[in-house]
Structure formats: structure tokens, C-alpha cells
Amino acid sequence: MRKYRLRIGLDVDDVLYECNSFALSLLREKYGDDPALDVNNIRSWGLQGNISDERIKFFSDPEFVARQPLFKGAQAFVRELNDMADVFFVTSVPPECMSARAKRLMEDFPEVPKGNILIGTRKDLVNIDILLDDAAHNISSSQATYPVLMRRPWNTALSGLLSVNSYSDFLHMAKIIGKSFLEKTPNLRKGGVLCLVGPSGTGKNEIAARLSKDPRFKKPLTTTTKPDTGKDGSYRYVTPEQFLKEEAAGRFFETTVYSKYYFGTSESEIEKIVRKGQIAVIPIDICGAMTLKNRYRSRASLVFTDRDKEKILTNLLHRPIPDEDKVSRILSLDFEFRNIEFCEFSVRVDDGLDRCYETILKELKLS
């Protein structure tokens, strides 16, 4: 990461100000409590094919823009962010709404310089370090080094990309980005963590299994809610209720949901391996990998598992998982390929597991 004050761009609608939910509340005043007017039923920024489509007319109304409620905690969030970075508002509204948008931002966030209010339709041209946005198309086209998705009902199907659920999550991630990646040369010779990051279908588990044949590497025990088949000793099986209880208690470094089953890796399982001077090998998503990077710093290495897109799609289509899981993973592929930017190096499972193993040893200076 470049050694200067971070430049962070913030989207405005549905990141700082309520947009979809506010528009739907106005429609409920007109139509009553129609189920289609629940914000949780909005599955995309576009048309839904029902009564909720009327909300879009508000988005070009200056009065609507002037009245949008702030999300709780938005002002405190921007103040804290402004203390650690140069903050820019990166927002897109029709020309007739630009004055109303700028006026609200200046009134509500006086600590941000007026010149940092960027209003236009080409967010992809803005050169910043981190972008926080709720629209998937803005994340995919962004020139930001680290585009981060603010989770909202219309983007829940996407996985495998940097994402947050709250302001506090984003502040934590911004601090990780600002500090953790200053150490460019990981040293795992006395133990550490090897994070395998890549899209579904790129062979992360196969590479982990190959590495684990070397006594210097070990895959931590994973806690899961999937049924116990008695055939795989690398899992700890719990009920969904127990998993959620442990997650709430902070037991896990990272969690994910795959085919409706929960998976999580605990700090204690990783620490047992690292304390012995071994390398914990963890197939993991990018958010979990960054958390581990923050925890272990130069004793953590991120490796991207690469593969031809056609072979990934073939792998996904033949997996015995629900169609909705296949669709979400296919939709996320382009986002996940961008995660290579966060990794020290990459390996390709198509080159063979032995070649992946040799490359990792060479890059970590273990051969």
C-alpha cells in the first residue's frame, strides 16, 4: 500500500442517506402496506415488475433528494473516517438534483471540504484508494484499488468480494488496508498463516490437501453445520444453533455459508498450528483473509488460486449444490478475480497440484 494519507470515496444513496427505503415509505403513504413495498424485497437497483417500480421517479426529484433521511450514525462515521483519511463523496444524481445533493452534503458533513464533493455519472473515472458503494455495477467498474460493497438487500447474492455490513465494519477494514499491507515480504519460515483466496472452483481445498502432506503445513479444523459423514476428519460438526452461538461469542476468525451450511475457522485452531512453528493453510474468502493479515501481519501470506474461467464454470455447474448457489457464484466471478490484487502471488490448479506446491515453497522461500 502506498505510504500516504488514504483517499476514501463514499457513495451517498443507501450508504449515507436512505434512498430506496425512503422512497418506499412515501409509496406506502399512498398505497398502504403492500408486501412489494418492503425494502427487503428489492433485489436490484432497477425495475422489479411490481408497484415498487414507482420509487424510481423519486430519484430525479430535487425535493426528495433534499429530504432524504441520514442513516443512523452516518455523521459520526464520516467524522471518524475524516480523521484517518481524505474523504470524498462520489455520488451520481440527475442534473436537476445536483444542487440539492451538494447542499445536503455540505450541511450534514461540514468537515469534508467542498471540493471533495464529486457529482457525476462516471464513478469509474474516479482515482481513489478505497470506494464504499452499495451498487454492484459501481464496484465492478471502479478504478479504486480497494472497492468495497456495502451490503444491502439488492446485492446479497454476490460473494467473494470485499464487503461490509456496517460503518464500524468499514472503519475496521479501512484501518486494515491502511496498515497491514505495508509489510510486503511475509516470512513464514517459523510458522504463520497461508490464506488461499480465489473463486469457487479454483481448487483451494485440493491445494490445501496437497500442502498438508508436507509436515510444515497443516489445515486447521473447520467447524461446520453440514451433516457428519464420518469420512472427513478435517471438520468439527455442530448444530446450526451451536454455530450461531459460537459466532456471536467471537469464536471464529471468519465464517461463510456454502450450500446452506455454515463454516467457520476459529482462532484457537489456527493458534495451535502457528505456535508449533507450522503454517496454517486456510481456504478463505477475501474478507477473512484480510482479517488474518491484520492479525498476523508479516507472518501471513495471501495466495490467489487462479484457473481458466471456462473450467471454473464447468466445475461449478457439475457441483451437487442448489442452483441458486451456482448462480450467485457465477455472478461473483468477475469480482473475485479482482482479489488477485490483494495477494502476494498466484498459483494455477490446472498446472498440477505438485507445481502449485513447488511454487508456494519457492515464493515463501521454504524450498
Has residue 213 been placed in a domain? Answer: yes
State the burial class of residue 71 (Cβ atoms within 10 Å of its Cβ: 0-12, 13-18, 19+). middle
Same-domain check for residues 62 and 145: yes
What stretches of the chain show up as alpha helix (H) in DSSP?
A: 20-31, 62-67, 74-84, 98-108, 136-141, 167-179, 204-211, 240-248, 267-275, 286-296, 309-317, 323-337, 353-363
Same-domain check for residues 188 and 174: no
Same-domain check for residues 160 and 189: no
Same-domain check for residues 147 and 88: yes
Same-domain check for residues 130 and 24: yes
Q: Is the pTM of this model over 0.85?
A: no
Same-domain check for residues 136 and 202: no
Nearest to 53, CA basis, from 31, 71, 77: 31
Q: Where among 180, 203, 225 does a domain terminate? A: 180
User: Which CATH number characterizes residue 99's domain?
Assistant: 3.40.50.1000
Same-domain check for residues 90 and 152: yes
- The band of 366, judged by pLDDT with boundaries at 50, 70 and 90, is very high
- The band of 271, judged by pLDDT with boundaries at 50, 70 and 90, is very high
Is the pLDDT at 70 greater than 60, yes or no? yes
Quote the domain boundaries for residue 93. 6-180
Same-domain check for residues 219 and 329: yes
Same-domain check for residues 287 and 145: no
The least confident of 108-117, 157-166, 180-189, 355-364 is: 180-189
Has residue 292 been placed in a domain? Answer: yes
State the burial class of residue 239 (Cβ atoms within 10 Å of its Cβ: 0-12, 13-18, 19+). exposed
Other Cβ atoms closer than 10 A to 92: 19
Nearest to 161, CA basis, from 198, 128, 130, 127: 198
pLDDT of residue 78: 98
- The band of 1, judged by pLDDT with boundaries at 50, 70 and 90, is very low
Has residue 320 been placed in a domain? Answer: yes
CA–CA separation, 208 and 280 (whole Å): 9
Has residue 208 been placed in a domain? Answer: yes
Has residue 86 been placed in a domain? Answer: yes
- Return the percentage of the chain with pLDDT > 90, whole number: 60
State the burial class of residue 163 (Cβ atoms within 10 Å of its Cβ: 0-12, 13-18, 19+). buried
User: Which CATH number characterizes residue 218's domain?
Assistant: 3.40.50.300
- The band of 278, judged by pLDDT with boundaries at 50, 70 and 90, is very high
Has residue 1 been placed in a domain? Answer: no
Q: Where among 161, 180, 199 does a domain terminate? A: 180
Count of domains in the chain?
2
Q: Where among 180, 201, 231 does a domain terminate? A: 180
- The 10s digit of each residue's pLDDT in 144-168 is 888 999 999 998 877 778 899 999 9
Same-domain check for residues 251 and 195: yes
Same-domain check for residues 321 and 267: yes
What residues contact 183, with CB distance under 8 A and at least 6 apart?
Answer: 297, 298
Same-domain check for residues 248 and 133: no
Is the pLDDT at 231 greater than 60, yes or no? yes
CA–CA separation, 52 and 48 (whole Å): 7
